[in-house]
A and B are shown apart, each in its own frame.
Chain A
Amino acid sequence: MTTSTEQSLAGAAPDGAASAAATRGLNKTYGTGDTRVHALKDVDAGFDAGKFTAIMGPSGSGKSTLMHCLAGLDTADSGNIWIGGTEITGLSDSQLTKLRRERVGFVFQAFNLVPTLTAEQNITLPISLANGTVDKDWFSYVTKTLGLTDRLAHRPHELSGGQQQRVAVARALLTRPDVVFGDEPTGNLDSKVGAEVLSLLRRSCQEMGQSIIMVTHDPVAASYADRVVLMNDGALVGELDRPDTDTILAALAKLGA
């Protein structure tokens, strides 16, 4: 419930080992000359393993950029990144791809599923890509928990938006990744279904010890998290522990968002 200090951030700064994901001195710019945007400015951040962390901040503050870099979807200009204790800075494209397959899970805002594959095939896709074998028990546990058992043979266009997001969550959880990333995973859902998906994420964190990093604009969504990290103008500007909606709103108001 304390507002952030520079120390607390620095304290969480990475040696890499204890965190699900961490960055040090991360910089990223887009474009050149007049259109140059410094999207990330010397970002040092640590995300604890087994915790549900939300990233918040005004639009254009660099949340998505940070998440993409953390997840190995994009490369930073300088700085270091760790995922589950492994430094991923400077890995080749195919090494990053392999890492995403095995150690990272994703839930995007939209277009989460491959339209030609059934829900089940979508869920097991990362494992198939790694030529791995699906842990049957884990699969049925995850799909049952998410209430997908009788939707597995359906294709994405036969599922509702909430069901599609749940399939994406199941896919993200199935590999037991070091960390699950979500970029506004509930952005397209109504509040009831959104709450459902968020509780699922919350439960997977509590019951399965899954680390989760979620970007969101919604204070209600962020209140499901253990910790909220605040960004403004490409830099980390504070954090909230065990936040509720009001503290989040207050903190955001301070940022002028």
Chain B
Amino acid sequence: MLQVALAQLRQHVRRFIAVGLAVVMAVGFLTATLMVNASTEASLGNSIGATFRNADLVVSEGQDKQLDGSALDAVTGAAGVGEVYAHRQASIAFGSAAGASYGALQNTAPAGLENLELLDGALPGDGEVAVDAGTAEKQGLSVGDKLELAPPAGMVAAEDVAAAGTALMVSGIVKPSKDPFMMVQPQLFATDALQQQLAGADNSWLRNIQFDLAAGADTAAVKDTVTAALADAGFPEASVNTAADQTKEVVASLTGGADQLTIVLLAFALVALLVSALVVANTFSVLIAQRTRELALLRCIGADRGQIRQSVLAEAVLVGISASVVGVLGAVGLMAGIITVLQGQPDTEFATLAVPPYAVIIGLVVGILMTVLAALAPARAATRVAPLAALRPADEARAGNSKGKVRLAVGLALAVGGAVVLALGAVSADLLIALPGGMLSFIGLLMCATLFIPPLVTAVGTLAKPAGVPGKLAAVNAVRNPGRTSATATALLIGVTLVAMMMTGAQTARTAFDGQLGAEYPVDLSVGDLTSAGRPLDASAAATAVNYDGVAAAGLVTNGGYAEVHGSRTGVYQLAPEQLALLQDKTLVLDGNTVLMPQGSELKKLTVTGSKGSKELTVVEADSWTLPPLISSAVAAEIGVPELPAADSEDYYSSLPQLWVSVDRDLDSWALLDLRSQLAAGLEVNEYQISGAAVERAAFNQVIDVLLLVVTGLLAVAVLIALVGVANTLSLSVLERTQESSLLRALGLTKSQLRSMLALEAVLIAGVAALIGAVLGAVYGWLGAQSALGAFATVVPDVPWLQLLAVLAVAVVAGLLASVMPARRAARLSPVEGLATV
């Protein structure tokens, strides 16, 4: 029977390629995911290992205590220790003709332990310093140039550094350290003595102590000796490791996050595998259905059921093996490509491709198993073909079987039960209850897809009526094999539901967060404190701010008096009537007798004191928790506006004017963050001094946008696989209907009508799947957001109509594309050819 399977594969290569494509994509995704983790570890190992590649043993600090001079003494004094390098690192300011900056000054190692790679010049000696290539380029430094180094203090201005600093000569340019802890900052290197002299008091910390073994010493013995010596010196938890072990340890501490990333990616790979299994199972079923006569003939001439099953499974194994191999190779190729690109970037030069055997093996095994498991049901169907079927004309109507009923019953039970649990989770705002409920109900729905997908396709199919005969036929053909249509649509439904769920969840979370922000921040943007030059903000700042695109209004809010709030003296701000509009909460009003206080002030009355007198005012609480006490400018004038106190006064900081800005509502997050940078530059303040609801909203939106993009991208793999499924089903159906297509052509259906008929059929299936997916996704997304956020925010469903419409549009277009190849094949057939193949 293997012979039969091989003949099948040879004869119908194209059909099996279609099956394989879905497997290739899912296996590729899975393998690439597994390689991400290994490659991250390899890259980190490569970079971290480089920093102690010449040492025999490395001492690193324990949880209890940092390494310092006494640890160094303990190591140096221990028996069997050769050369020792205590790795020091201190913050330092450096200045050259090109300007000043902060950097990390490290000491060089004794010759045997040195791991710096010189690109130019020599390692630093007395009065010399080496810099990394990146910094040298930025600062325009080359060997022989002068560089001023000074201990870090306040502002970094070239003239300050020059005044306080020590002049050194650049002796050499070294390769930037591959140490991920070091990569972001300028790296400078000096001799041990000079480093300690320049870095000053704060330099006792040792990053690690690396050392060689004395001639003839035994690694394990020295390790024990040094460990004991360190314990005696008061470092019981310090560890002594070989360089290789130490690398592993650091990598492990760094890749905790990478593991989580892998788990998340694996979840998406799992979705892709599930969809792929559905597509494979469905395609195999169609292939079997089309071979009914042939299988029956085999049974007629004496093949038993087992042989038929084996033949089908053999096909599945062969397809599984070849597709999995291609998938794994594809994943390796993809990762190699990405790593090569990363290696070209200076910051990720150390990127290393790792192809762990487990990734390859898991990819292959999962791919083959999935294909075979997916083929089990079709194989069973193949064994049920009666020998007599060879003699009977293929019969259109098929009765439902009992196994189908069991599946429907289980599916319904799961769907209803899961939905109840999900609703419970949403009501009690508990994601841990909602999540399993949601998953169960979704699985249940998928299991009884045959109940609702075909009727929906038929219903939507009536929309195709105006397209005339092709439309009518497309609607009928789309549900000709309800099982096949349901399986095809289900594969697509999964991906679309997840995408729509993420979109709705994100949008709902955004809206909920917006509500929270309104309560937290009184204004869109508030700019506080002093400019970089140390001056308070003044009226010119408001004038500057309104000139920027995206700023709707801006006003300087100044001190209007002081009050005792729960025993502490607080500055009270005055608000001119036109400035009231700057507040987020437009319902707030201020009159001659009220003071606005933040939420939770627990006060009824507050006495505000100005320069001329004081007044008792009624407290009105705002929703915001961070609103400063506010009085109207009329009241402030009545009690006398105080002068701005002197800079050393206690009242200074609570009296400084603030600039309040309201921004255009339609500003997107990128534009807003950009505006913040522009404002910071224009007002001469640091970006962190500009805060407020708009910034938080922008930052949050940005995170959500990026997450959504990534998740959608990952789910796109599953959607793509499902579309391969749509194309598969359609092309097999086209093959099956060759005679019918020819007949229609003979009777006057034009080529383009034939093509549009198939296109409509694909669009119907894809469109209905996307429609159901979008609706389900919206519901799941809302309930999910409610379960996750309901405990600390009011969650109102917010459906991202535009995004969901876009998903629908993509599905429809993709359906069209999926029909292109099958339709072209069908149209190529001349009417006579089809009639000949009786």
Contacts and interface: CB of A to CB of B under 8 A. Distances in A.
Task: Answer yes or no: do A and B interact.
Answer: yes
A234 interface: no
A60 B229 CA distance: 104
B743 A116 contact: no
Interface string B454-490: 0000000000000011001100110010000000000
B832 A128 contact: no
A114 interface: yes
B53 interface: no
B752 A129 contact: no
A93 B746 CA distance: 11
A100 interface: yes
A129 B748 CA distance: 7
B830 A74 contact: yes
A147 interface: no
Contacts of A157: 395-397
Contacts of A171: 747
B751 A129 contact: no
B340 to A, nearest CB: 50
B755 interface: no
A171 B397 CA distance: 24
A111 interface: yes
Nearest to A108: B835
Contacts of A111: 739-740, 743, 835, 838
Contacts of B748: 97-98, 100-102, 126, 129-130
Contacts of B739: 111
Contacts of B835: 73, 108, 111
Interface string B387-415: 00000000111000000000000000000
Nearest to A156: B396
Given A115-B740, A125-B469, A106 B747 contact: yes
A44 to B, nearest CB: 22
B476 A129 contact: no
Contacts of A93: 750-751
A94 interface: yes
Nearest to A124: B469
B751 A97 contact: yes
Interface in A125-142: 125-126, 128-131
B749 A97 contact: yes
A124 B163 CA distance: 100
Q: How large is the interface on A (under 10, 10 to 19, 20 to 34, 35 or more residues)?
A: 20 to 34
Contacts, number: 74
Interface string A91-125: 00110011011100010111111111100000001
B476 A73 contact: no
Nearest to B740: A114
B749 A94 contact: no
Nearest to B477: A116
A68 interface: yes
A114 B473 contact: yes
Q: Which of B468, B469, B748 has the most A CB atoms < 10 Å from its CB?
A: B748
A85 B823 CA distance: 34
Most interface-central of A98, A108, A114 (chain B CB within 10 A) = A114
Contacts of A74: 830-832
Contact of B747 (A110, A115, A116, A126): A126
B393 to A, nearest CB: 8
B753 interface: yes
A100 B397 contact: no
A129 B396 contact: no
A94 B750 contact: yes
Nearest to B741: A114
Interface string B716-752: 0000000000000000000000011001111111111
A117 B397 contact: no
Contacts of B473: 114, 116-117
Contacts of A100: 746-748
Contacts of B749: 97, 129
Nearest to A93: B751
B661 to A, nearest CB: 64
A215 to B, nearest CB: 13
Nearest to A74: B832
A43 to B, nearest CB: 17
A98 B468 contact: no
Contacts of A125: 469, 744, 747
A102 B753 CA distance: 16
Nearest to B748: A101
Contacts of B480: 116
B744 A73 contact: no
Nearest to A97: B750
Contacts of A73: 746, 830-832, 835
Given A73-B832, A111-B838, A128-B468, A97 B477 contact: no
Contact of A110 (B469, B830, B838): B838
Contacts of B476: 116-117
Interface of B: 395-397, 468-469, 472-473, 476-477, 480, 739-740, 743-753, 830-832, 835, 838
Q: Which 9 A-B pairs have the closest CB atoms?
A: A101-B748, A116-B476, A97-B750, A129-B748, A73-B831, A74-B832, A128-B469, A100-B748, A111-B739
15 contacts: A73-B830, A74-B832, A94-B752, A98-B750, A106-B746, A110-B838, A111-B739, A111-B743, A115-B396, A115-B740, A126-B748, A129-B468, A129-B747, A129-B748, A157-B395
